Structure 1
Amino acid sequence: MYQKLKYTLAVCLLLTSIVANAQVTVQSPYSKFGVGNIKGSLLPQYRAMGGISTAVYKPGFFNSINIQNPASYAGINATTLDIGLSVNSTELKNSTQTENSFNATLSHIALAFPVSKKSALSFGILPYSELGYNFKNTVKVGTTTANTKTVDYKYNGEGGLTKAYLGYGVQFGDHFRVGANAEYLFGNLSENRSTEYVDDPGSINSRMQVKNSVGGVSFSYGAQYDFRLDNKTLLVLGYSGSSSSKINLKNSQVVTQYFNDATGSEQTALDTLLLVENSPTNLKLPLIHNFGISIQRDNKWMVGADYRMGKWSNLSINNVNQGLQDTYGFSVGGQYTPDVTAINGYFKRVDYRLGFQYDKTYIQMNQQDIKQMAVTFGVGLPLASYSRGAFYRMNLSAELGKRGTVSNGLLQEKYLNIHLGFTLNDSSWFQRFRFD
């Protein structure tokens, strides 16, 4: 058992380093707002069901780590390890142009193990947000035809935030569970904004470079209560949320002036107008609420729904409110397993998942709310086990969705997100056997 633990911890530490230092190559102009595109604390098996998780306790025979609601940890009765990766394909489109991008990265590492018959501990690392964009806006400035000039406003950014968490869930009595996660958010958000005069080499251009380095603690929490409708059917009510936390942040800013030569190539900076290095400040995160309900037939099927809301209008960076909107959204979904005990017929033991999600995001442009929706689906594939008390499963999910619209001069993103996770359940880690 100790060899297993040492080996697994070594692999987790290696993969954690890779995840924490992975270069985000997402291309999404909407990630310019706030702290980037919020990823959500969901493993592939939950994403396949539209993201339902708040009232999901034990959706099947197999143990699964539900980070979104730590109260669910109380149902974990075997050591559970989950490692995964994500692939993203995006089409950006306006009224005249279309652009495609592709990104692939390790997505999560999570480990959970029972502490007692009614409690469990979990820890891991996963992305919190992604920032990546590069675009320009060309305008004409001037009061007369003689002094009108063409100006390029260029915007680019990269980075993102990563979340490492440690959580505990416990059950009181036969029906009520509570849990909490302590979360450490860290990462860099780097953004540049340039003003360049086109076809005018004599003009002085300017650029502002801003880097926010984040590192601090926040908290999330949850509760669940279940009702037995009969000896095989369970109704679960759930709540989860994230606190309105102030995270430590170091802000750096540089404003420079420079020329472009006749070919458009940038020359050495002429002057530095502003220099701020690692000024201590904070990132204020919003209060978030999630409410859920689910009903399930033990080891057979489950359906559920979530409703969520967030006070993103309170988000501030470096003590500056970011001018975002409050959010709301909902998810519906479920899974079905034909026969979890089937000896013959592999596909009878497969989990089939389907879902839908809708969100009003925190972005508003041209007096129009930016909305997002997606259809989700996936499977949980049991894998062969070659050791006593160990079970393996591969979870595959896909999200096919869109955000925004091409009307009113806006931009639409169509995306396909594919998530792959490998899950291990092993009940022998903390048991001593007479023979082995």
Structure 2
Amino acid sequence: MYKKINYITAVLVLLASISVNAQVTTQSPYSRYGIGNLRGSLLPQLRAMGGISTAVNKPTGYSVINMQNPASYAGITLTTIDVGMSAGFTTLTKDDAKDKSFNATLSHLALAFPITTHSALSFGILPYSELGYNFAQKSTISGSATNGATQNVTSLYTGEGGLTKAYMGYGYRIGDNFRIGANVEYLFGNLIENKDLQFTDNAELDAGATSTSYGTRLQNKNSVAGVAFSYGAQYDIHINSKMLVTLGYSGSSASTVNSTRTFLATKYAYDGTEDGGVTIETIDSTGTGKSNLKLPLVHNFGIVLQKYNRWMVGADVRMGKWSNLTINGVNQGLQNSRGASIGGQITPDITSINSYWSKVDYRLGFSYDKTYIKLTDNDVKQVALTFGVGLPLANSRNAFYKLNFTTEIGRRGTMVTNDLRENYVNLHLGFTINDKWFTRFKFD
């Protein structure tokens, strides 16, 4: 038993280290707004069903860490570990222009274990938002009446960073059908945004000389570190001995998280290479000291119809008051978001001996969101088709292992012809362990 624990621990540490080394910044112009692209607290097995989670407890008998609704922790009966990675292929299109990118990251590392027969504790770490973009706009400034020379100006917008969430949560079951829970969440990370203005002297270009640009960079950096809270409840309605309906609610409080803002303005010479420029002087450097980031109130509602160990279908709706988001006391000009998901899974025969594929979980889902971004009076929307499988691995008397693989095919944009459109394919891989730990066995 203890050799098994050591082996599993070594595998998890290896996976986590590989995932951290694989992380790169996301590349999405839409992450420029608010606090970046929100990741959502979803494991691969939940993403595969369109992201339904609010009313999900146990999809097929085994324990699942559903941090989106901490009330679900109360249904965890075995020590559970879940670790995973994500990778994404993104294609940006606008008019006839096209750009492709790839990114990969650690998606989650979570652990949960029962405290009593009615409660369980969970803790872990996962990305909360991602910030990463790089685009340019070119224009020409006309000369004065006495000097007719024009000058090329390139405006560069770049951003990097994001927020990470470490959480600890507790779920408790009241009676046979009602569960409640809460998470204490520590959000931390940096949101770094730059605006560069580069000026190219056309006279030098006309003379055939080497192009030299002089630029000014304005950098805003927000370092975030503070506590937020989320909570939830679930209620089961038994139809018969094998079927039930679960109703769920989860939400995040309107929390105020500490942040520190730093502003830096520099002047530099730029030679047109990818290495950037040489700083000539620092024009201004200001630290505003302690400030805050005010997160909005978020609500999630869900319903699931389930037949034990056979199939499950459900739906979620969600809404967030992102119009209230402020950073350093400045409202970010966002709109309230709303969205919906539908999905489910089926397991042909979880007890099958002769057919491995009959024990596999098959998942399918669809999600739609009106994001908190609005451009030129058009909502930025996000739609995705999701599907995946849960592949059972070798099991023992007191342990259960599963490999979960999910694919998301989606689109983000205003959906207006010739506007910027982001098409993506996201791949998620998760490894789930259910085991009965902290018990000595006479025979191993």
Change (3 A) 1:274 1:17: farther
How many residues align? The count is 434
* Residue pair 2:22, 2:104 contacting (<8 A) in 1 also: no
In 2: Cα distance, 1:138 partner to 1:320 partner? 28
Q: In structure 1, what is the equivalent of residue 206 of structure 2?
A: none
In 2: Cα distance, 1:70 partner to 1:420 partner? 22
In 1: Cα distance, 2:342 partner to 2:275 partner? 52
* Residue pair 2:409, 2:426 contacting (<8 A) in 1 also: yes
In 1: Cα distance, 2:132 partner to 2:139 partner? 23
In 2: Cα distance, 1:263 partner to 1:357 partner? 42
Q: In structure 2, what is the equivalent of residue 76 of structure 1?
A: 76
Measured after TM superposition, the shift of residue 317 of structure 1 is 1.4
In 2: Cα distance, 1:18 partner to 1:161 partner? 20
Measured after TM superposition, the shift of residue 11 of structure 1 is 6.6
Q: In structure 1, what is the equivalent of residue 170 of structure 2?
A: 168
In 1: Cα distance, 2:276 partner to 2:52 partner? 49
Q: In structure 2, what is the equivalent of residue 306 of structure 1?
A: 316
Measured after TM superposition, the shift of residue 258 of structure 1 is 3.0
In 2: Cα distance, 1:254 partner to 1:228 partner? 60
3-state SS of paired residue (2:357): helix
In 2: Cα distance, 1:369 partner to 1:53 partner? 25
Q: In structure 1, what is the equivalent of residue 157 of structure 2?
A: 155
Measured after TM superposition, the shift of residue 283 of structure 1 is 1.2
Measured after TM superposition, the shift of residue 96 of structure 1 is 1.7
Change (3 A) 1:198 1:430: same
Q: In structure 2, what is the equivalent of residue 50 of structure 1?
A: 50
Measured after TM superposition, the shift of residue 256 of structure 1 is 1.6
Change (3 A) 1:134 1:267: closer
Q: Could you tell me which runs of 5 or more consecutive residues in structure 1 were left unpaired when the two chains were aligned.
A: none
Deviates more, 1:300-309 or 1:316-325: 316-325
* 1:230 corresponds to which of 233, 236, 240: 240
Q: In structure 1, what is the equivalent of residue 411 of structure 2?
A: 402
3-state SS of paired residue (1:41): coil
Change (3 A) 1:348 1:265: closer
Q: In structure 2, what is the equivalent of residue 381 of structure 1?
A: 391
In 1: Cα distance, 2:159 partner to 2:325 partner? 19
3-state SS of paired residue (2:73): helix
Q: In structure 2, what is the equivalent of residue 196 of structure 1?
A: 198
In 1: Cα distance, 2:391 partner to 2:355 partner? 13
In 2: Cα distance, 1:267 partner to 1:173 partner? 66
* Residue pair 1:183, 1:220 contacting (<8 A) in 2 also: yes
* 1:431 corresponds to which of 408, 415, 439: 439
In 2: Cα distance, 1:4 partner to 1:218 partner? 36
Change (3 A) 1:197 1:229: same
Measured after TM superposition, the shift of residue 265 of structure 1 is 8.6
Change (3 A) 1:220 1:12: farther
Amino acid aligned to 1:160: G
* Residue pair 1:24, 1:158 contacting (<8 A) in 2 also: no
In 2: Cα distance, 1:269 partner to 1:100 partner? 31
1:285-324 alignment to 2 at 5 Å? 285-324=295-334
1:228-307 alignment to 2 at 5 Å? 228-260=238-270, 268-277=278-287, 279-307=289-317
Change (3 A) 1:168 1:259: same
**Does structure 1 residue 216 correspond to structure 2 residue 218?**
no
* Residue pair 1:57, 1:72 contacting (<8 A) in 2 also: yes
Amino acid aligned to 1:238: G
Q: In structure 1, what is the equivalent of residue 375 of structure 2?
A: 365
Q: CA deviation digits over 1:383-432, x for unaligned, max 9?
A: 113x44111100011100000147365210000001000111112x1323
Change (3 A) 1:149 1:406: farther
3-state SS of paired residue (1:198): strand
In 2: Cα distance, 1:423 partner to 1:331 partner? 24
Normalising by structure 2, we get a TM-score of: 0.91
Q: In structure 2, what is the equivalent of residue 103 of structure 1?
A: 103
* Residue pair 1:23, 1:159 contacting (<8 A) in 2 also: no
3-state SS of paired residue (2:279): coil
* Residue pair 1:133, 1:155 contacting (<8 A) in 2 also: yes
Change (3 A) 1:270 1:11: same
Deviates more, 1:217-226 or 1:201-210: 201-210
Q: In structure 2, what is the equivalent of residue 340 of structure 1?
A: 350
Amino acid aligned to 2:103: N
In 1: Cα distance, 2:255 partner to 2:10 partner? 32
Measured after TM superposition, the shift of residue 105 of structure 1 is 2.0
* Residue pair 1:177, 1:225 contacting (<8 A) in 2 also: yes
Q: What is the RMSD computed on CA atoms of the aligned residues?
A: 2.4
3-state SS of paired residue (1:45): helix
Deviates more, 1:260-269 or 1:412-421: 260-269
Identical aligned pairs, as a percentage?
A: 59
Q: In structure 1, what is the equivalent of residue 216 of structure 2?
A: 206
Q: CA deviation digits over 1:151-198, x for unaligned, max 9?
A: 111011111111111011010011110000111111111111001123
Q: Could you tell me which runs of 5 or more consecutive residues in structure 2 were left unpaired when the two chains were aligned.
A: 203-210
